[in-house]
Amino acid sequence: MVATQLPRLAFAQAYDDPEDIYARVKKSPDLRLSMCGGNIDIAIDGDSRPLDKRRIETWVRRSASAVSAYFGRFPVDHWALLITPGEGNRIGPATTWGYPSSVTRFTVGRDVTDNALREDWVMVHEMTHLALPRVPMSSEWFMEGNATYVEPIARAQLGQITPQEVWRWAVDDMPKGQPKSGDEGLDHTHTWGRTYWGGAMYWLLAEIDIYKHSNGEYRLQDALRAINRTSGGNTALWSVAQVAQAGDAAVKSNALTTLYDKLKDRSVAIDLDGMLRQLGISEEEGTIRFDDRAPLAELRRSITSLRKTDKSSTKECLGL
């Protein structure tokens, strides 16, 4: 009997369990990358043509570079990524777990263009989830808000997008996170807007409070790096209070804890317009404008810039 080599697509299956995904990637990775202290194993489920390994590697490396520059290293020691090719040119959906290890399943269309992969934000969003410990699902906004907030900033710090693009999201999308009638606080109101953009506003508030409390010495980035190093990333399961305390200790404040206590159980409308004015951000005739005379203009500039103290280590880490 002559064996017939079937197309790889014939062996593709739907992976919905993180243990199955981890086992699949561990058994036979198609790509292995090392990025800034982290090892990335990538498996491709089924026939990926014309989404070949070279294009996947370029996409993953670009995204990992942004996340590594923001956190000072790749957020976890080992990450298993399963790419499931789909029809068309869509990027996503994607899901990230922290058990049994850091694992992500990601669907991407075979017809996706190189330009779409270069401009993609979803991969960076998922990689950002690796950096913080998991928290109870009632506080999902804490994790999703963090990834929503950090993702464009990390890309801007490496020059992958402009600062205007970062703050365009704040102007257009953060208002979707404001509480509506019947809201019971972020821990009890699990709508899309509150989870992603209400969560993102929490992190912007923390950014400002940390800067003010330290007279410009610390940034939210310092707190998040400390949380990542202390916890080891999303394989850990912590309470929100533990995460907040670890971040606060690093920046010598109580900003994260105080904001969590304020917003978790109560409907609190945020003066978003006032915050943006303080940062010197406005929209005029459809264009994002910056006012460098604004009280927090220096903070705004620093948020989307790679810090001087990080430049040499980032270049060494990324091999630039």
In order of start, what are the domains of the chain with their CATH numbers? 8-129 (3.30.2010), 137-311 (no CATH)
| Whole-number pLDDT of residue 65 | 96
End-to-end CA distance of the chain: give it in Å, rounded. 54
Query: In this structure, what token pair is assigned to residue 287?
Result: 């264009």
Whole-model pTM: value is 0.92
Q: What is the mean pLDDT of each run of 10 residues along the chain (320 residues)?
A: 29 67 92 94 86 93 96 97 92 93 95 95 98 97 98 97 96 97 97 98 98 97 98 97 98 98 97 97 96 98 91 76
Helix (H, G, I), strand (E, B) or coil at 43: strand
Instruction: Give the per-residue pLDDT at 316.
Output: 76
Look at phi and psi of residue 49 and say left if phi exceeds 0, alpha if psi is from -120 to 50, else beta: beta
Beta partners for residue 81, in sequence order: 42, 104
Cα–Cα distance between 290 and 168 in angstroms, integer? 11
Q: What element of type H or E holds 281?
A: strand 281-284
pLDDT of 309: 81
The amino acid sitting at 287 is T
Residue 93 contacts residue 103 (beta carbons within 8 Å): no
Neighbouring-strand partners of residue 85: 108
The bridge status of strand 78-86 relative to strand 31-35 is: unpaired
Beta-bridge partners for 287 = 284
pLDDT, one tens digit per residue, over 233-267 is 999 999 999 999 999 999 999 999 999 999 999 99
123: Cβ contacts below 8 Å, ≥ 6 apart: 59, 60, 63, 91, 94, 106
